[in-house]
A and B are shown apart, each in its own frame.
Chain A
Amino acid sequence: MSHHDQHDDHEHGEHHILSNAMGLKILLILIVMTVLTVVTARIDLGHLNGPIAIFIACFKAMLVILFFMGMKYDSNDNRAFFASSFVFFGVFVVLTAADVFTRVGDWRTHGPELKATMMKEIQPKFWEDSEESLKRGATLFKEQCVTCHGSEGHGDGPASAGLNPKPRNFTLTADWKNGRTVTGIVTTLNKGLGSMPSFDNFPLPNRFDLAHYVLTLNAEKPATPTADQLKAVGVLDPSKDDGGLAAGGSSKSIPIEFAIDRYVEASKK
């Protein structure tokens, strides 16, 4: 070890002095490269803009590392150290991408379907039951709820195993915490309940679609919601056709929303 160190000192430890002329040359190249990035970025090259900018940045970084930081004259140990940090960065990027972009396993097949389901425009009296509403609700349910609540709504989806209390069994009428009513279910979707996440990133009309669908899983029909109940869950003005929503609501982001945006992206291609 000590022998090796001595060898190392001798071989690479000599001080390298960057000459002023060389330093200036590097600075000039770096500035020219900066101008080049700005120019290329301002020309629209579509998808190439990003990679080109990163490529130029890598080149500039290389110059700084090799000459200003003197890596060109440094020991192999130090080179290996610094290079390793970028290797780990690469691992970080690849593993994260592998997770993020494969998370919703079936987004390719269901993307267009789900996109068609998400409401772009507010339909008149969307809080009332209708055949289209039920169809949309069924699609959304299949996409977003079956993992926990099961495909038949028995509360026995694959993800239910680890949950306590268990996801609600929609075929039963007992034990509903927010009530087995349209507005009760929308309340659950708005706020979440225990380990059930909130779905407040869905357009409000779609939350009503889900509620209508969930209620079909048991033959007993609950009472139609009153105006006050509707107001309490976000229908600002039930006397208007659009529920007073035209002014626009806000949406928050939770992971599910990633999926939806990706569905929309995927269907554009």
Chain B
Amino acid sequence: MSSPSSVDHHGKPGEHHFAHHFRSALHEFVTCKQGMWLFLVQEVLFFSPLFVAYFMFRAQYAHDFHLGALQLDWKMGALNTIILLCSSYTMARAVTASQRGEKSIVKYLAITFLCAAGFLVVKYFEYTHKIHDGLLPGKFMTNPELLAEAPKAAIFFSLYFCMTGLHGIHVIGGMGVIAWIMWRAHKGEFGPKYFTPVEMTGLYWHFVDLVWIFLFPMLYLVG
């Protein structure tokens, strides 16, 4: 605490003092980033059981999965893909803006946040529609046509809800972090000297996009 370099966290806006156990601000940044990548490694492994389950079951019940996938509205999925891609772009713009100390960072974070909200609204409509049609996981699947033609589509819908659900939770979490970063950017905490939280949030958000890039074709298109 007495270390001169670690004291003032309430300095002038845009000023950041790196913690005393780092050699330099750059050292702190590089370390944070490494931690973030490790977290993302964990995230890949966190999602991977669902992907493995998907591949194994699809290999066994290709026909039923295909009929299940046909029940999803690919237009909704495509719309959400575009929304997330755009939000990834605006997130990248926010990072660039913070690195250059531009005020537009708040604007870009706000657009990213709105894209995320839009994504969830589309997802909400999809979910209610699926629930209405009895396209539910496992034994809860009550859609009469699928029960007769493709009973194993129930597994498809289990995976659909687990995968998009886990992804959706990540979107919601991301929105929380983006809102927080937006608030801090609004207070002028970030600038060319210090933008670590913005860049880390960016990495996380791009990862969320990354997962969707795979979920969309797997669930909506080829099934």
Of the residues A13, A64, A65, A261, contact of B61 by C-beta under 8 Å: A261
Determine whether B206 belongs to the interface, using a CB cutoff of 8 Å to chain A.
yes
CB-CB contacts below 8 Å: A53-93 with B: 53-54, 56-57, 60-61, 64-65, 67-69, 74-75, 77-78, 81-82, 84-86, 88-89, 92-93
- How far apart are the CA atoms of A93 and B48 in the complex, in Å? 9
Complex A-B: 21 CB contacts under 8 Å? A9-B26, A15-B99, A23-B92, A23-B93, A27-B85, A27-B88, A31-B85, A34-B85, A37-B216, A41-B221, A50-B222, A56-B217, A57-B214, A60-B213, A68-B89, A69-B206, A74-B33, A82-B40, A85-B41, A89-B45, A97-B59
**Smallest CB-CB separation from A19: which chain B residue?**
B96
A13, A19, A26, most chain B CB atoms within 10 A: A13
Contact A38/B74 with A9-B24, A84-B41, A96-B56 known, Cβ cut-off 8 Å: yes
- Are A5 and B27 within 8 A (Cβ)? yes
Known: A54-B217, A68-B202. 7 other contacts (CB 8 A): A37-B221, A68-B89, A68-B92, A86-B44, A89-B45, A97-B56, A100-B60
Contact A88/B82 with A18-B92, A64-B213, A82-B40 known, Cβ cut-off 8 Å: no
Determine whether A49 belongs to the interface, using a CB cutoff of 8 Å to chain B.
yes
CB neighbours (8 Å) of B217 from chain A are 37, 41, 53-54, 56-57
Contact A92/B52 with A17-B96, A75-B30, A262-B60 known, Cβ cut-off 8 Å: yes
Contact A49/B222 with A23-B92, A89-B48, A261-B60 known, Cβ cut-off 8 Å: yes
- Are B44 and A85 within 8 A (Cβ)? yes
- Are A26 and B89 within 8 A (Cβ)? yes
Contact A82/B41 with A34-B78, A56-B217, A251-B151 known, Cβ cut-off 8 Å: yes
Of the residues B34, B89, B96, B152, contact of A77 by C-beta under 8 Å: B34
- How far apart are the CA atoms of A84 and B41 in the complex, in Å? 8
Q: What band does the interface of chain B fall in when counting residues whose beta carbon is under 8 Å from A?
A: 35 or more
CB neighbours (8 Å) of A41 from chain B are 74, 217, 221-222
A85, A100, A252, most chain B CB atoms within 10 A: A85
- How far apart are the CA atoms of A6 and B27 in the complex, in Å? 8
Interface of chain B, helix or strand or loop or mixed?
helix
CB-CB contacts below 8 Å: B60-82 with A: 60-61, 74, 78, 81-82
CB neighbours (8 Å) of B139 from chain A are 252
Contact A53/B48 with A17-B100, A75-B30, A78-B33 known, Cβ cut-off 8 Å: no
- Are B74 and A81 within 8 A (Cβ)? no
- How far apart are the CA atoms of A260 and B82 in the complex, in Å? 41
**Smallest CB-CB separation from A265: which chain B residue?**
B60
CB neighbours (8 Å) of B89 from chain A are 23-24, 26-27, 68
**Smallest CB-CB separation from A80: which chain B residue?**
B37
- Are B34 and A78 within 8 A (Cβ)? yes
Determine whether A233 belongs to the interface, using a CB cutoff of 8 Å to chain B.
no
Determine whether A176 belongs to the interface, using a CB cutoff of 8 Å to chain B.
no
CB neighbours (8 Å) of A27 from chain B are 85-86, 88-89
CB-CB contacts below 8 Å: B168-186 with A: none
CB neighbours (8 Å) of A17 from chain B are 96, 99-100
- How far apart are the CA atoms of A30 and B213 in the complex, in Å? 10
CB neighbours (8 Å) of B189 from chain A are none
CB-CB contacts below 8 Å: B202-222 with A: 202-203, 206-207, 209-210, 213-214, 216-218, 221-222
Determine whether B55 belongs to the interface, using a CB cutoff of 8 Å to chain A.
yes
- Are A89 and B44 within 8 A (Cβ)? yes
- Are A81 and B38 within 8 A (Cβ)? yes
Determine whether A20 belongs to the interface, using a CB cutoff of 8 Å to chain B.
yes
- How far apart are the CA atoms of A86 and B40 in the complex, in Å? 11
CB neighbours (8 Å) of A100 from chain B are 56, 60
